[in-house]
Amino acid sequence: MATRKIIEIDRDLCDGCGLCTTACAEGALALDGENKAVLVRELYCDGMGACLDVCPTGALTIVEREGEAYDVEATREHVANVRGPEAVAAVHAGPGAGTEESAGQTESGTAPSELSQWPIQLHLITPQAPYFKGADLLIAADCTAFARGSFHADLLKGRKLVVACPKLDDTGPYAEKLAELLRVAQPKSLTVAMMTVPCCSGLQRIVEQAVEQSGTELPIRTAIVGLDGEIVLET
């Protein structure tokens, strides 16, 4: 067994609402005879924490411990059996979970994902989500991950992610929501990643407003990605 990220359940806090069991696309959670959430099998849990945001009592956390490796194929078979074959498409392939691949490339030749939480879109995230607490936070314009091929290794690794598009999104509530995130989570660091294109500058202004509204004095680091994928400025 290897050390990996996996769900942990506080039975005393669990109120048996069952929301986590439906939020988990992998079918890793169920309610037991005492109406408490339990982990069905370790190998069904991808460690991404999609269930955290729906838990109303904070009974769920992601911890790092020894456990069975996440098994995508076994999980797909499990989901097909309990939810039907149409639900298999929602099963997550995992962020390199349960593998012994190097930090460089996997056996198939693809770079492993550094994404460690879900959701990531600013409209969807919950500022109270426990994985944000004390984290290194990356707020990235949507296009940056497409422009820079090594986005995961260079910018995302070790950070929790929030993505937004200052041009196409309804950004009205963004500054206030980010301010709440900063107040509640008290992140260790804050990095903004955006493109050289004019529309991206709006993201920097939103984050600056959020920092001011939050009353924190967290410095804003900036990484600006050019159209060729190169980082043209990093502060």
Dihedral over Cα of 96, 98, 104, 108: its sign: negative
3-class SS letters over 64-90: EEEECCCCHHHHHHHHHHHHCHHHHHH
196 and 120 part of one domain: yes
140 and 96 part of one domain: no
Residue after which a domain boundary falls, among 42, 73, 100: 100
159 and 210 part of one domain: yes
85 and 131 part of one domain: no
234 and 132 part of one domain: yes
Retrieve residue 77's tokens: 């078979």
What is the model's pLDDT at position 137? 97
In a domain, 36, yes or no: yes
In a domain, 201, yes or no: yes
Residue after which a domain boundary falls, among 100, 123, 139: 100
Q: Helix 201-214 to helix 174-185 angle, to the nearest 10 degrees?
A: 50
137 and 232 part of one domain: yes
What is the model's pLDDT at position 101? 42
In a domain, 178, yes or no: yes
For the chain, how far is it from start to end, CA to CA, in angstroms? Answer: 40
In a domain, 105, yes or no: no
5 and 50 part of one domain: yes
Distance between CA atoms of 125 and 118, rounded to whole angstroms?
8
What is the model's pLDDT at position 86? 87
Residue after which a domain boundary falls, among 100, 120, 146: 100
What is the model's pLDDT at position 98? 39
CATH number of domain containing 233: 3.40.50
Farthest-apart Cα atoms in the chain, separation: 57
75 and 159 part of one domain: no
What is the model's pLDDT at position 220? 96
146 and 38 part of one domain: no
DSSP per residue, 7-27: EEE-TTT-----HHHHH-TT-
What is the model's pLDDT at position 102? 41
93 and 140 part of one domain: no
Q: How many domains does the chain have?
A: 2
In a domain, 205, yes or no: yes
What is the model's pLDDT at position 118? 85
Retrieve residue 130's tokens: 């426990």
In a domain, 106, yes or no: no
DSSP E strand boundaries for the chain? 2-9, 29-31, 37-39, 60-67, 136-141, 160-164, 189-195, 220-225, 231-234
The residues facing 5 across adjacent strands are: 64
pLDDT (tens place) for every residue of the chain, 235 residues total:
778 889 999 999 999 999 999 889 899 999 999 999 999 999 999 888 878 878 889 899 989 899 899 999 999 999 999 989 888 888 877 654 434 444 444 445 567 788 988 889 999 999 998 889 999 999 999 999 999 999 999 999 999 999 999 999 999 999 999 999 999 999 999 999 999 988 888 999 999 999 999 999 899 999 999 988 999 888 8
What is the model's pLDDT at position 187? 96
**Structural domain that includes position 85:** 1-100
180 and 64 part of one domain: no
Put simply, whether the predicted model's pTM sits higher than 0.85 gets the answer: no
In this structure, the number of other CB atoms found within 10 A of the CB of residue 123 comes to: 13
CATH number of domain containing 31: 3.30.70.20
165 and 129 part of one domain: yes
